[in-house]
Chains A and B, each alone.
Chain A
Amino acid sequence: MEVSGRDHQTRHHTLTMRLFDFNGGVKPDYQKEASTQTPIAVSPTPTFLVIPLHQSIGGTPRPLVSVDDRVLKGQRIGAADASISGDLSSAVHASTSGHVVAVEMRLMPHPSGLSALCVVIAPDGRDEWIERKPFDYRYHTRDETRDYLRDAGVVGLGGAVFPTHLKISSGKEDRLDTLIINGAECEPYITCDDALMKERADAIIQGVAILHDLLAAGQVLIGIEDNKPEAIAAMQAAVRARNPSDMEVIAVPTRYPAGGAKQLIRVLTGIEVPHGKRSTDYGVQCFNVGTAYAIHEAINLGQPLISRIVTVAGNVTTPRNYEVLVGTPMKTLLAQSQCLPDTDCLIMGGPMMGVALPSDEVPVVKATNCILAGSKKLFPPPPPEMPCIRCGECATACPADLQPFELYWFSRAKIFGKAQEYHLFDCIECGCCSYVCPSHIPLVDYYRFAKSEIWAHESEKESADKARDHYEFRQLREERETQERSARLAAKAATSRTAAMAVPETPATENIPVSATGSATPAALIAAALERARAQQVHPKNTTDLTPAQQAEIAAIEARRTEIRTQAHPHLPLDD
């Protein structure tokens, strides 16, 4: 269902916000009270900060520092490398001042126990900032602002860590109907956005105002689930204080996953953004409240994204929210809230979509909105899986209006074509289906399996295609080389022959030997053709006749790229 721009206007002016609804969803036990009793605490600076270079969707930034370098708080230590990943990446910064003690592979907050290149910093305790200059975006072009946000490392803090600058279009032509600010925070246990809105509403609104300007948005709708009355009140007060004419804080009904971007857009505007489409195609763009706050800090205060609010909850003595430096080992943070002795797992994110952590040594990253300590009591292992009885509970709960049990049958039977036909890739993996399943089937796992199998198949096909192309090209090249070699030999023989038979007064400009019948000999024709080809051959620019300085620079770049590649993909051959 789509709503025209005029409808938006009408609704806005009457100020009676008509909310829409999404199908499905569940109402789990929210468990948010425990961590909202106390204000945000500042997490202590750890002995070592482990800052992964890859913290956003996109390519791995290039390290700008090496061992023993002194870094300042807010200093860029990883730059989005356009030569490797294009624009799709975001910078990372030192979260405090200190010395780089290592640039090496470290364990990531990822269930697979994956390692990635990290800059390890030993803080010097002085917390010495770089020179912080506010960035007045009004005196810069949109592209300059985008580059600034990229270099300030601002990414989506709702969990997806999509680089924020990419959501600000470079052209001025498209105007946005509705800017949506997501403060719904629908996952159980997580309260970091709630805490931020309660305590720093004005800063968030300043960030929202910047986005409003940058995107030339018609209206701004700030959606917050109605189980956060204090946050709603604080945000409303902040909006009133700044008195923007077209900004509204709206309480949306509490139902997981109301905070999913697609669901929130649907609830606030009635627009459904399908899989594979950008919301901007529908005149809507959505940002998390934490992201708006980070934008305010980057633009108005000149501070890059080096910390975030993290909820520590679950099986801990004192659940609460912390302001945490990016790179802080989770162990340091958990020590503040004290895990109960029966804690048997750590989850990053909420209990519905979070990921199990391989260790408590992994660092807090920009994607870390919550660290949940689990125990057998809190999250009992699922009862034994029973066969699907097609009760349809999953279909009732699915916010994407899918038929999860059908997808389950297809995924299980590896009928992936059929699974895609039944819109497997529209699944947002919110976990509602698994949550309600009376047979305790880990449905989402089946979809993850099917998706990864399809991806693997696609990339296999791609690499097979590539290999075939390579092979065919090599064959072609070898064939051409053989031809050229024989042509060369023939030409050589021909010239020596003509030289022997040459008449001295033959003009130098026209030395093609002419046979008795008046036509050129074949060997000579070939020789002439080769000569023409040589003349036509274009030398690539900037590869020859370089100055020593340029050559040195190229060598340095090559060395750096090789180093990154060996560190990031040690198992890959260098020239792959």
Chain B
Amino acid sequence: MSNSPYLLKATSVQSVMLRVLLALLPGLVAYIWFFGTAIVVQIVLASLTALAAEALVLYLRGKPLALFLTDGSALVTAWLIALSFPPLAPWWLVVLATLTAIIVAKHLYGGLGQNPFNPAMVAFALMIVAYPQLMSRWPVPGAIDFATQWSIIFGPYANHALDAITMATPLDALRTALHSAGTLPSAPTTVVSALASNPAIGHLAGRGWEWIAAGYLVGGLWLMQQRIITWHLPTAFLATLFLLSGLASVIDPANFAGPLFHLFGGGAMLAAFFIVTDPVSAATTPCGKLIFAAGVALLTWVIRCFGAYPDGIAFAVLLMNIAVPLIDMATQPRVFGYKKTGDDVP
């Protein structure tokens, strides 16, 4: 007989992870609607790889296979990799990324609950450094049938054939336009003209992408309602990104895109509700969560506006992951009966 409490709430890591997957569905449906079923292929690829890698490492580590394979954590990592990668990336890229995430970023650090870095973001960062071209193979909304997508994913690497059906993301397009504008003073390009001339731009951000982001937002709000995530991380992330981009676009509208473009463009919404909220690698105290997410947003915005990469979320998350132990230590909440934080004398 164990000790008290004898009453336990009906909850489990598995149910938490499954609900996270469920919360990704609205975004996924929008994804399929705008860009076809390639993403499903990638999700299946990543999921199978993740489970296989997980099983292999669990076996090598002598851990109970059934218990950990069914916890759902590997699937969440796999889905996040698939959803943050270009859907037309070659199959081996996603497989390689998933193997890296599960074997290196997760299990070499001790497995579930022990990894200091977000595994999906480790994979993303490694791949965008190693294969920058493949990581920018973004499809034009609609247009491509499944057979073509299939052959692009599994076929031989043929860059020239892809040019017609892939393009830079709005974030990338904007950067290229603005950067080249800087070198050609005769043809001044502003944010407005760059966005207006780009067929990939929709109402708020990238055409199609803005709806996928809206789907993530819906799923994320549901996670909050389910009390799987607290308001702190998403709110701090989105609010900081909104404030920074809003301020910059008010001061210099010609060179900085507005807040809605930043919030609904790139991986911001996915990051706000599904990536910075990874409990294992994020800060845990209420105040620490605010600092952590605000830091990710700040770095994301800086990298997006001034860096060399189209989206800075992966680097921003990893950089802030390093700071988590310090943030947590410095933001310990006030304990019942004590006057202030860190007070030893009540």
Contact = CB atoms under 8 A, between A and B. Distances in A.
**A-B pairs, 7 with minimum CB distance:** A274-B337, A274-B346, A431-B5, A387-B113, A379-B6, A351-B7, A272-B337
A188 B2 contact: no
Interface stretch (B27-35, B49-57, B314-322, B327-335): B327-335
B8 interface: yes
Contacts of A353: 4-5
* Count class of interface residues, chain A: 35 or more
Interface of B: 1-9, 11-13, 15-16, 64, 67, 71, 73, 111-114, 228, 230, 279-280, 284-285, 328, 332-338, 346
Contacts of A391: 16, 228, 279
A322 interface: no
Nearest to B111: A387
A262 to B, nearest CB: 7
Nearest to B66: A384
Contact of B3 (A26, A273, A356): A356
Contacts of A345: 1
Interface string A243-278: 000000000000000000010001000001111110
A46 interface: no
B113 A389 contact: yes
B272 to A, nearest CB: 18
Contacts of A400: 335-337
Nearest to B64: A384
Contacts of A277: 337, 346
B335 A402 contact: yes
26 contacts: A111-B3, A274-B335, A275-B346, A347-B6, A351-B7, A352-B7, A356-B4, A374-B6, A386-B12, A386-B71, A387-B111, A387-B113, A387-B114, A389-B16, A389-B279, A390-B113, A390-B279, A395-B333, A400-B336, A402-B335, A403-B333, A422-B332, A435-B7, A438-B11, A438-B15, A438-B16
A550 to B, nearest CB: 49
Given A277-B346, A444-B4, A26 B337 contact: no
A399 interface: yes
Contact of A434 (B1, B5, B13): B5
A392 B4 contact: no
A143 B67 CA distance: 62
B262 to A, nearest CB: 28
A442 B335 contact: no
A370 B161 CA distance: 77
Contacts of A266: 336
Given A345-B1, A392-B230, A423 B6 contact: no
A124 to B, nearest CB: 37
A489 B84 CA distance: 97
A401 interface: yes
A426 interface: yes
B1 A28 contact: no
Contacts of A347: 4, 6
Nearest to B329: A406
Contact of A262 (B4, B9, B337): B337
Interface string A432-445: 00111111101011
A435 B336 contact: no
A23 B2 CA distance: 27
Nearest to A24: B336
Given A431-B5, A434-B8, A438-B15, A423 B335 contact: yes
B281 to A, nearest CB: 9
A127 B279 CA distance: 63
Nearest to A421: B344
A403 B285 contact: yes
Contact of A442 (B3, B12, B285): B3
A273 B337 CA distance: 5
A381 interface: yes
For B2, B15, B16, B328, the residue with the greatest tally of chain A CB atoms inside 10 Å of its CB is: B2
A548 interface: no
B279 A392 contact: yes
Given A274-B346, A352-B5, A395-B284, 10 more contacts: A275-B346, A344-B1, A381-B2, A386-B67, A387-B114, A406-B284, A406-B328, A426-B335, A435-B8, A439-B113
A329 interface: no
A383 interface: yes
A448 B16 contact: no
Contact of B8 (A349, A384, A402, A440): A440
A245 B30 CA distance: 67
B112 A386 contact: yes
B235 to A, nearest CB: 16
Given A28-B7, A353-B5, A272 B13 contact: no
A351 B284 contact: no
Interface in A375-431: 379, 381-384, 386-393, 395-396, 399-403, 405-406, 422-423, 426, 431
A435 B5 contact: yes
A431 B4 contact: yes
Contact of B12 (A188, A356, A438): A438
Contacts of A29: 7
A431 B12 CA distance: 17
A52 interface: no
A388 B6 CA distance: 19
B9 A26 contact: yes
A22 interface: yes
A522 B275 CA distance: 91
A354 interface: yes
Contacts of A437: 8, 11
Given A392-B230, A392-B284, A401-B333, A386 B13 contact: yes
A434 B280 CA distance: 18
Given A26-B9, A351-B7, A356 B230 contact: no
Contacts of A426: 335-337
Contact of A355 (B4, B15, B332): B4
Contacts of A356: 1-4
A356 B5 CA distance: 10
A383 B12 contact: yes
A355 B67 CA distance: 29
A384 B67 contact: yes
A431 B3 CA distance: 10
Given A438-B12, A438-B13, A354 B337 contact: no
